[in-house]
Structure 1
Amino acid sequence: MPQDGAPATTGVDPERLWLRPAEPRRGRRPSFSREAIVAAAVTLADAEGLEAVTMRRVAAEVGAGVMSLYSYAPDKETLLELMVDHVSGELTAAAPTGDWRADLKAVARTQRAHMLRHPWLPAALTARRTPGPNTLAFLEGALAALRPTGLDGAARLEVFAQLTAFVAGHVGYETAHAAVAGSPERAASEARYLAAVASDGHHPELAGALSAPGRPLSPEATFTRFLDRLVDGLGTG
């Protein structure tokens, strides 16, 4: 069903979205811009999550009628495309150093910090998005960092997609874990449950893993270990 009474669509048209000026289709020019609409949607998502982003809420934030927004974003899917690219303007890929593994890890750390600032991004990225100009600028830098691998363009795109998926999945886990850690009762219950499972005799591998020497558990240390395993294991064939 269309969002908030929006007209039915058949998906986002990337040419119309990114290559044509964002002008209203009819009526007098409104007192707001597409940039203001997208910024308001991002502010809502940052504060309350993607569920809070409806055309009606966004319209209220910019002081407009719902129908007037459809000239700029005909549906929520289009609005999400615009939101993802809007926040991608915060991303900057450092100049390649020639050490592609170190450069790729720097890309991942930049992405992680970015997604932690905008916790709705991992969910928004689960759907296929057409990269807008800001996203393309960051992608260009990441592909340049991978040039020393000798991989062809298609393979470099795949590596970037794999890296982004890893970061998005890890940040989703990280934010969920932080929510549990913020509830001492829930954390204690989870610890007791795992201890019981590990001692029931049916999960020897898990018992061994849980009894192994501990590693630093800070979010940064955990992310670094996972990232090192992923990037250091990438081949160039």
Structure 2
Amino acid sequence: MAGRSGEPEVIWARPERTGRGPRPAYTRGDIAAAAVRVADADGLDAVSMRRVAAEIGCGTMSLYNYVPRKVDLYELMVDLVSGEYDLSRAPAGDWRADLMDLAHQARGIMRRHPWVIRVMSSVYSISPNALRVLDWTLAALEGLDVPPGTKLELFGMVNGSVMTFVANEQAVAERTRSEPWSAEREQAVRGAYMVSQVATGAYPHLAALFAQGVAPVDDPEAAFDRMLRRLLESFAPQ
């Protein structure tokens, strides 16, 4: 956001309300909570300055005194749901276990607020709650003997992997809701088609894989943990 000087500004560096006048009737927390309620109920596309203003009971133009831009509103929303991480305990001293726990918490937040994947990015990594999560993570990684920059990369890769995993879960769930048949039936039909294509000989490496036996698709929880373990082990010193 650019100020009068033309320099970028950060929403967190601004006062709660610009200009003089009576004490603000609403806090940023009130506004963020209203926007999150709208997004949780009707999706991110339903979040507008007009809708959020109506939700808290103020005029649309008045809302701009608190939140200058819609992207600032998104930042407030991401920060609010980032406050759902439970960081009340100190890291356990096992950095793998600590990051596994953090990743499971992230997955839970993304499931409760499906819209957050669309707006979450490194741009929002300087918000108060985001900084608390990062600081806790760095405390958990004190026992990992890698350069500081590598620790930041690990943090980013864990978040990115969780986002990708949950986004796929959401896509599968949405397709299932939109079709009259069961997910199992569609999976069976697609599996049969794939087998028929591999049998043509056009995909020799897939055929060799199938000949060795392909592990059955297991539950998402096991797949999620397996993904995390492999990722974390890749950062362990050799």
TM-score above 0.5: yes
**Offset, 1:190:** 5.0
Larger radius of gyration: 2
**Offset, 1:119:** 1.0
Gaps of 5+ in 1: 1-9
195-204 or 72-81: which moved more? 195-204
Q: Which residue of 2 aligns with 1:172?
A: 167
Q: Aligned partners of 1:127 and 1:160: how far apart in 2?
A: 11
**Offset, 1:115:** 1.2
Aligned length: 227
**TM-aligned CA distance change 1:44 to 1:209, over 3 Å:** farther
2:45 pairs with 1:45: no
2:196 pairs with 1:199: yes
**TM-aligned CA distance change 1:146 to 1:184, over 3 Å:** farther
Q: Which residue of 2 aligns with 1:88?
A: 82
SS of structure 1 residue aligned to 2:106? helix
SS of structure 2 residue aligned to 1:128? helix
Q: Which residue of 2 aligns with 1:103?
A: 98
Post-superposition CA distance 1:121-142 (Å, at most 9, x none): 1111146224211111111111
Q: Aligned partners of 1:228 and 1:37: how far apart in 2?
A: 38
SS of structure 1 residue aligned to 2:224? helix
2:70 pairs with 1:76: yes
**TM-aligned CA distance change 1:125 to 1:11, over 3 Å:** farther
26-35 or 137-146: which moved more? 26-35
Please tell me the residue identity of whatever aligns with 2:97: A
Q: Which residue of 2 aligns with 1:4?
A: none
Please tell me the residue identity of whatever aligns with 1:196: Y
Q: Matches of residues 135-154 of structure 1 in structure 2 within 5 Å? A: 135-154=130-149
Contact in 1 for aligned 2:100/2:228 (Cα 8 Å): yes
Please tell me the residue identity of whatever aligns with 1:213: A
204-213 or 168-177: which moved more? 204-213
Query: TM-score normalised to the size of structure 1?
Result: 0.84
Please tell me the residue identity of whatever aligns with 1:226: M
Q: Aligned partners of 2:68 and 2:76: how far apart in 1?
A: 11
Which of 9, 12, 19 is residue 13 of structure 1 equivalent to? 9
Gaps of 5+ in 2: 1-5
Contact in 2 for aligned 1:143/1:156 (Cα 8 Å): yes
**Offset, 1:99:** 1.6
Contact in 2 for aligned 1:23/1:71 (Cα 8 Å): yes
2:16 pairs with 1:22: yes
Q: Aligned partners of 2:210 and 2:75: how far apart in 1?
A: 41
Contact in 2 for aligned 1:92/1:138 (Cα 8 Å): no
Post-superposition CA distance 1:91-111 (Å, at most 9, x none): 123422222111111111111
Post-superposition CA distance 1:51-94 (Å, at most 9, x none): 11111111111111111111111111011111111111111234
C-alpha RMSD of matched pairs (Å): 2.7
Q: Aligned partners of 2:180 and 2:119: how far apart in 1?
A: 30
- Percent identical among aligned pairs is 42
**TM-aligned CA distance change 1:54 to 1:127, over 3 Å:** farther
**Offset, 1:186:** 6.6
Q: Aligned partners of 2:146 and 2:223: how far apart in 1?
A: 29
SS of structure 1 residue aligned to 2:181? helix
**TM-aligned CA distance change 1:156 to 1:185, over 3 Å:** same
**Offset, 1:118:** 1.1
Q: Aligned partners of 1:108 and 1:165: how far apart in 2?
A: 10
Which of 4, 27, 51 is residue 57 of structure 1 equivalent to? 51
Q: Aligned partners of 1:230 and 1:71: how far apart in 2?
A: 44
